[in-house]
């Protein structure tokens, strides 16, 4: 009798656990129309020159219950660099800077994600100009919205990289072109 009761209890528990709503991680694709990758860099120590990359793509996975299961990946086409000046953009595409025919993409893959207040602290490997370095930044956001039946969410971040860590413009002195590149990224993703 006691064995039968125990068996029933286990069956009920299993059924209960199985029926509990487990929220799966959501996968999103970056919407390039509502996302952007911008940068600024100090020129001659005077003022910032601004630019952006017009072509990029990526995906990210959000698990609201387990930040460890979140992941972010982004690929930026270096050829799409745009500083609103053709001659300067050509120079940026040349081996003096990005060398786009040798290194056509900047790639980021997260390796760990931690939840922080209002977003995530993301650590991952950034590959640029043939160099891969670990970087960490904080992504803020995570609100969701429905648009034409598609769930959207978005995050943004600002980070600072040293261009010479990646060998970009290695022969251009820091006094002439700032070492630090300030980057602002906003991503809006559509749920798959």
Partner 1 sequence: MPDPILLLKAMALAAAIAALAVLLTGLPWRSPRWGIATASGVLGVALGFGISSRWLGIRATWPPKEATDRLLLVVLPVVIGVELVGAAAGKFRWIVWLLRAVVAAFAARILVDKSAYIADLSGPDSRLWDETQTTKILAGLGITLALVWAALLLQLRRPAGRAVPFAVAGTCVAAGATTMFSGYATGGGQLGLPLGASIVGAFLASLLLSGRRATGGVVSFGVVGLFSYLVIGRLFAELTTTNAALLFFAPLLCWLPELPLVRRLPVWLRSMLGILLTIVPVAIALFLAQQKFAADSVKSAPDSGELSPEDYMNFGK
Residue given tokens 């940026």 in the structure block: 92
Measured from the CB atom, the residue of 84 and 111 that comes closer to partner 1 is 84
- Four-point Cα dihedral 126, 110, 150, 24, nearest 10: 170
Residue 102, interface with partner 1 (CB under 8 A)? yes
Alpha carbon distances (Å) from 75 to 19, 29, 47, 147, 165: 39, 12, 28, 25, 19
- 48 near partner 1 (CB under 8 A): no
- The answer to whether 162 contacts partner 1 (rule: CB under 8 A) is no
Q: Is 64 in the site for partner 1 (CB under 8 A)?
A: no
Q: CA-to-CA distance for 132 and 103, rounded, in angstroms?
A: 12
> Contact with partner 1 (CB under 8 A): which of 40, 63, 73, 104?
104
Task: Give the distance, in angstroms, between the CA of residue 30 and the centroid of all CA atoms in the same chain.
Answer: 9
Residue 164 is encoded by which pair of tokens?
């010479």
Number of residues that bind partner 1 (CB under 8 A): 31
Binding span for partner 1 by CB under 8 A among 23-31, 89-97, 151-159, 183-191: 89-97
Which one of 37, 177, 181, 185 is in contact with partner 1 (CB under 8 A)?
177
DSSP 6-61: HHHHHHHHHHHHHHS-PPPPEEEEE-GGG-EEEEEEEETTTEEEEEEES-EEEEEE
Distance of CA 54 to the CA centre of its chain: 15
Stretch that binds partner 1, among 32-40, 79-87, 116-124, 154-162 (CB under 8 A): 79-87
176 binds partner 1 (CB under 8 A): yes
| Cα–Cα dist 163/183, whole Å | 11
Stretch that binds partner 1, among 3-11, 97-105, 109-117, 181-189 (CB under 8 A): 97-105
Among 24, 86, 146, 148, binds partner 1 (CB under 8 A): 86
Q: C-beta of 120: minimal distance to partner 1 in Å?
A: 27
Binding site for partner 1 (CB under 8 A): 44, 77, 84-91, 93-96, 99-105, 129-130, 167, 170-173, 175-177
């Amino acid at each position: 009798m006691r064995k039968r009761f125990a068996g029933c209890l286990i069956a009920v528990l299993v059924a209960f656990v199985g029926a509990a709503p487990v929220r799966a991680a959501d996968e999103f694709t970056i919407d390039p129309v509502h996302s952007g990758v911008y940068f600024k860099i100090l020129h001659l120590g005077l003022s910032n020159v601004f630019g952006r990359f017009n072509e990029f793509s990526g995906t990210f996975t959000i698990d609201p219950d387990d930040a460890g299961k979140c992941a972010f990946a982004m690929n930026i086409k270096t050829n799409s660099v745009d500083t609103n000046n053709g001659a300067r953009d050509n120079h940026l595409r040349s081996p003096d800077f990005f060398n786009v025919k040798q290194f056509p993409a900047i790639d980021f893959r997260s390796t760990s994600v931690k939840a922080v207040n209002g977003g995530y602290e993301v650590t991952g490997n950034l590959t640029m100009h043939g160099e891969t370095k670990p970087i960490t930044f904080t992504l803020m956001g995570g609100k969701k919205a429905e648009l034409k039946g598609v769930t959207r969410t978005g995050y943004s971040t600002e980070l600072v990289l040293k261009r010479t860590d990646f060998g970009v413009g290695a022969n251009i002195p820091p006094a002439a072109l700032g070492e630090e590149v300030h980057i602002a990224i906003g991503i809006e993703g559509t749920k798959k």
